[in-house]
């Protein structure tokens, strides 16, 4: 079997009892069992080991790079003019290379205040750099073959037809972001688990059967994806 790489990101701030962490671990376990020794599994905990927020030097280097067009990563390093810019690029480049090397990106993304966690946003800001996901010679998207499994977990209900559907700035944001990076829409798989707080929030107790159903559907969907990706 051809060697393949899974880049597995968790962003829940809860080390214990996290539904998103449990679901991504489930996918990773099935995926590793399928690929066996041919599998490479890299796990990043964006809450336990957070990515540093980008600073002014990152922006300065990015603007200078963008004026040059699409450049190889080695050439970007040569554009750094200050130690601060060199430091910012040294933080960003390994994360960019991890994403470029991944065949499958598995992302655990719980909803916080209607959107993503600060840990995930910091990773997004750090890996987003002008031109690095385009082929310098052809301009083609380097991530066009990458498969993304987005595990979106929400304590309440935000699905289609729910009263708070309009408050979901989690899934639409992530979908727009990854498609903007060059991920093909058919390679972006969104798996949601809703109402995960129904068991412990009194106002949601009546919705517990729906929560059980949503979680079971998420687990089954992830098992199926892990068996095929």
Annotated binding site: 12, 18-20, 111-114
Report in angstroms the alpha-carbon separations of 35 from 50, 195, 228. 29, 32, 10
* Longest alpha-carbon distance in the chain: 60
Which spans in 56-205 are helix H?
Answer: 56-68, 73-78, 83-101, 118-127, 171-181
Q: Determine the Cα–Cα distance for residues 118 and 123; give it in Å rounded to an integer.
A: 9
All residues at 6 or more sequence positions from 212 whose CB lies less than 8 Å from its CB, including other chains: none
Q: Determine the Cα–Cα distance for residues 61 and 86; give it in Å rounded to an integer.
A: 9
Q: From the annotation, which residues make up the binding site for FMN?
A: 12, 18-20, 111-114
Report in angstroms the alpha-carbon separations of 203 from 112, 199, 200. 18, 10, 9
Q: Are 138 and 180 in contact (CB under 8 A)?
A: no
Pull the structure tokens for residue 166.
Answer: 């309009």
């Amino acid at each position: 079997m051809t060697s393949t790489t899974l880049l597995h990101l968790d962003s829940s701030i809860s080390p214990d009892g996290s539904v998103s962490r449990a679901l991504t671990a489930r996918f990773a376990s099935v995926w590793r069992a399928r690929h066996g020794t041919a599998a490479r599994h890299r796990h990043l905990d964006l809450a336990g080991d957070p990515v540093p927020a980008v600073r002014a030097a990152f922006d300065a280097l990015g603007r200078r790079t963008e004026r040059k067009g699409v450049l190889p990563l080695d050439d970007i390093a040569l554009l750094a003019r200050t130690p601060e810019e060199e430091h910012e690029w040294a933080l960003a480049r390994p994360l960019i290379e991890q994403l470029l090397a991944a065949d499958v990106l598995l992302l655990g993304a719980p909803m916080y205040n209607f959107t993503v966690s600060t840990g995930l946003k910091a990773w997004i800001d750090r890996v987003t750099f002008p031109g690095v996901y385009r082929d310098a010679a052809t301009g083609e998207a380097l991530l066009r073959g990458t498969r993304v499994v987005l595990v979106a977990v929400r304590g309440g209900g935000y699905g289609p037809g729910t009263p708070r559907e309009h408050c979901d700035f989690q899934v639409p944001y992530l979908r727009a972001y990854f498609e903007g990076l060059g991920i093909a829409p058919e390679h972006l798989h969104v798996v949601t688990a809703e109402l995960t707080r129904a068991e412990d929030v009194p106002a949601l107790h009546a919705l517990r059967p729906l929560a059980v159903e949503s979680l079971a559907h998420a687990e089954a969907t992830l098992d199926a994806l892990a068996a095929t990706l």
